């Protein structure tokens, strides 16, 4: 008798979500006891996962079969951040006050061990919290095309459908030729966001100052609903105010943070990383 086919991906996705929600509920409801255990157990300190690790069995959250990487440490650590951020983020969607920004940037600094700022040298963006939309890939050098853009066939398969923007980013090409393209240039394009630089306070009177400050400025981007975070650079300017979105993310950024455009759009936190010695690498924060 032939066996019946079924949708593995659909079932996997649904139950991953159910499980993730249950983990979040557990943490919210019993945070004090779980934190106490985390803070007072030698085993927990050694494992450095800060909480639920010993309470949960590993969960593979990858959707594709055959690509199973156990991710429980990361997921559980992220849940602690989600729970910590929840009381700091207002229920009504709005820009944060300075005191809210201070509290959130401190929380992110403590959690990630980075110097997170909402303002540096009296320069700041119009907001640190906003809806993110999907951007296209950017041309890295004159002549960069969809055929040359990706490093591996797997990357091409995953991200080519997002397309290549017809124009250059706000700072021009990342490199002047394919030969001049460096690893840093490749990563800047891969992990870029577009922010509304033109809406920064007093922008029109400080265009030059702001342009130099924003160009490839390193930022921490956090999805407050799942705790996923990525170190990115400001690689472009936008989106327009009328879009009702506050920033845009490269295809790689959107994929990692699990944020989507259109009706499913969601907010992210975005703060400057004070990294004068350029020690913090771009990409997902593990």
Partner 1 sequence: MKNKFYSHLLKIEPIHDKFSQIDIKEDEKESLLEILHSHIHVTVIDVILSELDEGKKKEFLHLVAVREDHSGAWDFVVTNIEQGEEKVKAAIEQIVKEFLSDLEADL
Does 14 participate in binding partner 1 (rule CB under 8 A)?
yes
Residue 125 CA to residue 200 CA, distance in Å, equals 5
Q: Quick one: 284 exposed, middle or buried, by C-beta within 10 A (0-12, 13-18, 19+)?
A: middle
DSSP secondary structure code for residue 178 in this structure? T
- Name residues contacting partner 1, limited to 43-62 (CB under 8 A): 43-44, 54-60, 62
3-class secondary-structure state, position 237: strand
Residue 201 CA to residue 178 CA, distance in Å, equals 37
Does 19 participate in binding partner 1 (rule CB under 8 A)?
yes
Does 91 participate in binding partner 1 (rule CB under 8 A)?
no
Does 32 participate in binding partner 1 (rule CB under 8 A)?
yes
Residue 26 CA to residue 15 CA, distance in Å, equals 16
Does 37 participate in binding partner 1 (rule CB under 8 A)?
yes
How many positions of this chain bind partner 1 (CB under 8 A)? 41
Residue of 46, 48, 66, 147 that binds partner 1 (CB under 8 A)? 66
Does 33 participate in binding partner 1 (rule CB under 8 A)?
yes
* Cα–Cα–Cα angle for 132, 286, 262, rounded to 5 degrees: 15
Shortest CB 71 distance to partner 1, Å: 11
Does 41 participate in binding partner 1 (rule CB under 8 A)?
yes
Helices (H), 30-122: 31-40, 42-47, 72-85, 98-112
Query: Which residue stretch of 13-21, 160-168, 191-199, 236-244 sits at the interface with partner 1 (rule: CB under 8 A)?
Result: 13-21
Binding string, residues 110-149; x marks residues near partner 1 by CB under 8 A: ----------------------------------------
DSSP secondary structure code for residue 268 in this structure? E
Does 8 participate in binding partner 1 (rule CB under 8 A)?
yes
Does 11 participate in binding partner 1 (rule CB under 8 A)?
yes
Does 7 participate in binding partner 1 (rule CB under 8 A)?
yes
8 A C-beta contact, residue 220 and residue 271: yes
Both structure tokens of 178: 């394919």
- Nearer to partner 1 by Cβ, of 3 and 183: the residue is 3
Shortest CB 133 distance to partner 1, Å: 31
Residue 239, preceding peptide bond in cis (omega within 30° of 0): yes
- Nearer to partner 1 by Cβ, of 16 and 102: the residue is 16
Closest C-alpha to 237, from 204, 214, 265? 214
- Nearer to partner 1 by Cβ, of 15 and 93: the residue is 15
- Nearer to partner 1 by Cβ, of 7 and 278: the residue is 7
* Dihedral pair phi/psi, residue 131, rounded to 5°: -80, 135
Q: Quick one: 89 exposed, middle or buried, by C-beta within 10 A (0-12, 13-18, 19+)?
A: middle
Does 25 participate in binding partner 1 (rule CB under 8 A)?
yes
CA–chain centroid gap for 242, Å, is 23
- Nearer to partner 1 by Cβ, of 22 and 97: the residue is 22
Query: Which residue stretch of 35-43, 84-92, 179-187, 212-220 sits at the interface with partner 1 (rule: CB under 8 A)?
Result: 35-43
Per CB under 8 A, residues contacting partner 1 are 2-8, 10-12, 14-16, 18-19, 22-23, 25-26, 29-30, 32-34, 36-37, 41, 43-44, 54-60, 62, 65-66, 68, 72
């Amino acid at each position: 008798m032939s066996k019946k086919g079924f949708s593995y991906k659909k079932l996997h996705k649904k139950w991953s979500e159910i499980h993730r929600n249950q983990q979040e509920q557990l943490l919210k409801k019993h945070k004090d006891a779980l934190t106490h255990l985390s803070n007072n157990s030698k085993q927990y300190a050694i494992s450095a996962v800060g909480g639920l690790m010993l309470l949960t069995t590993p969960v593979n959250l990858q959707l594709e079969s055959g690509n199973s990487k156990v991710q429980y440490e990361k997921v559980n650590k992220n849940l602690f951040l989600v729970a910590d951020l929840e009381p700091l983020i207002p229920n009504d969607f709005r820009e944060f006050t300075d005191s809210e920004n201070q509290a959130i940037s401190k929380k992110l600094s403590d959690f990630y061990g980075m110097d997170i700022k909402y303002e540096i040298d009296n320069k700041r963006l119009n907001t640190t919290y906003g809806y993110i939309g999907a951007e296209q890939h950017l041309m890295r050098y004159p002549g960069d095309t969809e055929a040359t853009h990706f490093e591996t066939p797997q990357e091409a398969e995953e991200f080519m459908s997002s397309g290549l923007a017809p124009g250059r980013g706000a700072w021009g090409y990342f490199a002047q030729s394919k030969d001049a393209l460096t690893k840093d240039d490749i990563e800047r394009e891969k992990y870029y966001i577009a922010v509304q630089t033109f809406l920064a306070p007093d922008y029109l009177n400080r265009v030059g100052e702001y342009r130099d400050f924003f160009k490839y400025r390193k930022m921490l981007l956090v999805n407050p609903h799942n705790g996923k975070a990525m170190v990115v650079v400001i690689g472009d300017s936008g989106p327009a105010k009328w879009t009702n979105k506050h920033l845009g993310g490269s295809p790689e950024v959107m994929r990692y943070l699990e944020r989507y455009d259109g009706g499913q759009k969601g907010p992210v936190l975005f703060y400057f990383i004070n990294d004068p010695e350029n020690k913090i690498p771009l990409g997902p924060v593990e």
